[in-house]
């Protein structure tokens, strides 16, 4: 019979780290702290969510840059990167309403503590997917799994990445347990940053059709429609406003993806020739398209062999790497394959070459942090290394 302390042990770090993150990290954004890296200003993004919600909750336009600028100036006294707009769909504000409907300090503390909890929750879900008992395995390796550079970046920027990661891992567990209604509901969270999941989409659709799990798709559509209606009722015209601001694409952003790398190389090769300028943005469209079509081909060809919990570690790596744009904190999704790698190799965690490669990648990520933050495109190697490690582990 297991002792009470055995059950308490896994929850103690969760409580302590969540509380510590909420208290400690909430100081940085609230005191206008920004980080200067190689001449670039890095500052938290939570201010965009909070001020957009202030507009949204009062029935205003959450995408009004002028209104957001005034609120952000009042809140911070200055905005080190200029006005931070909201790029997410309006239903994201409905999803995060319970967190954002408080004062600045309370909302930020909730955001960071829940984000930290989501990291541990993801680790637990990954152990469930591999049918490994979390209590019977090495705890220190499980806790080590969430300490990866993108997760730390999510906490610093106060971004949404860990909510998406937890939602995806929860979906995988729920579909495995055949709790399709809940699985369909949590899947909606991924729509906040749907561009990160383009290769995953056809595989998921093929799996739903092949397994006749139509309830997942039905619940997802109904939930998304309900959230959209709630958003429109609260702030009429917000969908139109979101579509309008979405016409200002992040095409000139060099982010940590294959498209960002190719665009950067083309920019250097072409130089200032205005006639060839449009070529620079082609990778942002073509690479995600090829990724989507390739995934669609595999989904049709292997539709009888698609198992989300078995293929997700590779699909996640490719989805983010082939996205039109993705920031360093978006790679928090790789917490899923990295945790599954450590959990699967728990008997020989330090001796296995795949694990050594992945751990070396984490060390390199932290050591090179100033470079990655100043020039995000240089971080595009990271998902490739994690993909190599999980394929080498062959699980």
pLDDT digits (tens, 9 = 90+) for 43-52: 578 889 999 9
Local confidence band at 369 (pLDDT 50, 70, 90 cut-offs)? confident
Measure the CA–CA gap between 351 and 270, rounded to whole angstroms. Answer: 46
Local confidence band at 141 (pLDDT 50, 70, 90 cut-offs)? low
Local confidence band at 263 (pLDDT 50, 70, 90 cut-offs)? confident
pLDDT: which is higher, 195 or 359: 195
Looking at the chain, the whole-number percentage of residues with pLDDT higher than 90 is 30
Residues recorded for the chain: 395
Local confidence band at 343 (pLDDT 50, 70, 90 cut-offs)? confident
Q: Exposed, middle or buried by CB within 10 Å (0-12, 13-18, 19+), for 103? A: exposed
Measure the CA–CA gap between 123 and 143, rounded to whole angstroms. Answer: 8
Q: What is the mean pLDDT of the chain?
A: 79
Q: What is the pLDDT of residue 30?
A: 40
Neighbouring C-beta atoms of residue 323, cutoff 10 Å: 27
Say which range, 166-175, 267-276, 291-300, has the weakest mean pLDDT: 267-276
Q: What is the pLDDT of residue 297?
A: 84
Q: Exposed, middle or buried by CB within 10 Å (0-12, 13-18, 19+), for 185? A: buried
Measure the CA–CA gap between 244 and 241, rounded to whole angstroms. Answer: 5
Q: What is the pLDDT of residue 226?
A: 97
Measure the CA–CA gap between 385 and 357, rounded to whole angstroms. Answer: 7
Q: What is the pLDDT of residue 26?
A: 44
User: Which of 179, 46, 165, 168 has the alpha carbon at shortest distance from 117?
Assistant: 165
Whole-angstrom distance between the N-terminal and C-terminal Cα of the chain?
Answer: 31
Local confidence band at 27 (pLDDT 50, 70, 90 cut-offs)? very low
Local confidence band at 16 (pLDDT 50, 70, 90 cut-offs)? very low
pTM of the prediction?
A: 0.86
Residue 78 CA, distance from chain mean position: 27
Q: What is the CA radius of gyration of the chain?
A: 21
pLDDT at 85 over 50: yes
Q: Identify whether the C-beta of residue 369 lies closer than 8 Å to the C-beta of residue 345.
A: no
3-class DSSP state of 255: coil
Pick from 142-151, 154-163, 176-185, 357-366 the range whose average pLDDT is largest: 176-185
pLDDT: which is higher, 160 or 152: 160
Q: What is the mean pLDDT of residues 328-336?
A: 92
């Amino acid at each position: 019979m297991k002792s009470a302390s055995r059950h308490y042990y896994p929850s103690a770090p969760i409580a302590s780290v969540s509380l510590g993150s909420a208290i400690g990290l909430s100081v940085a954004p609230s005191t206008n702290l920004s980080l200067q890296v190689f001449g670039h200003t890095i500052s938290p993004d939570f201010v965009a969510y909070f001020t957009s919600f202030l507009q949204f909750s009062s029935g205003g336009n959450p995408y009004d840059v002028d209104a957001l600028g005034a609120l952000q100036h009042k809140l911070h006294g200055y905005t080190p990167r200029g006005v931070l707009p909201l790029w997410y769909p309006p239903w994201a504000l409905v999803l995060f309403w319970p967190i954002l409907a408080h004062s600045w300090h309370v909302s930020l503390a909730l955001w960071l503590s829940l984000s930290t909890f989501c990291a541990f929750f993801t680790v637990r879900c990954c152990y469930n997917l591999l049918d490994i008992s979390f209590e019977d395995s090495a705890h220190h390796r499980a806790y080590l799994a969430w300490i990866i550079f993108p997760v730390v970046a999510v906490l610093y920027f106060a971004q949404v990445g860990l909510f998406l990661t937890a939602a995806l891992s929860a979906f995988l567990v729920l579909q495995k347990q055949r709790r399709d209604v809940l699985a369909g509901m949590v899947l909606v969270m991924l729509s906040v940053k749907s561009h990160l999941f383009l290769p995953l989409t056809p595989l998921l659709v093929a799996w739903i059709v092949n397994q006749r799990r139509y309830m997942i798709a039905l619940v997802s559509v109904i939930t998304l429609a309900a959230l959209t209606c709630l958003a429109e009722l609260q702030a009429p015209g917000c969908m139109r406003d979101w579509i309008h601001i979405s016409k200002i694409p992040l095409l000139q952003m060099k982010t940590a993806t294959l498209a960002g790398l190719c665009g950067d190389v083309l920019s250097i090769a072409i130089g200032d020739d205005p006639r060839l300028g449009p070529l620079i943005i082609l990778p942002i469209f073509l690479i995600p398209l090829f990724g989507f079509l390739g995934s669609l081909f595999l989904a049709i060809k292997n539709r009888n062999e698609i198992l989300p919990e078995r293929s997700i570690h590779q699909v996640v790596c490719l989805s983010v790497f082939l996205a039109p744009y993705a920031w360093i904190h978006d790679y928090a999704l790789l917490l899923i394959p990295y945790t599954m790698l450590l959990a699967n190799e728990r008997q020989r965690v330090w001796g296995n070459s795949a694990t050594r490669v992945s751990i070396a990648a984490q060390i390199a990520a932290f050591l090179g942090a100033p470079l990655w933050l100043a020039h995000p495109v240089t971080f595009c190697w990271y998902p490739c290394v994690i993909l190599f490690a999980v394929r080498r582990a062959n699980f």
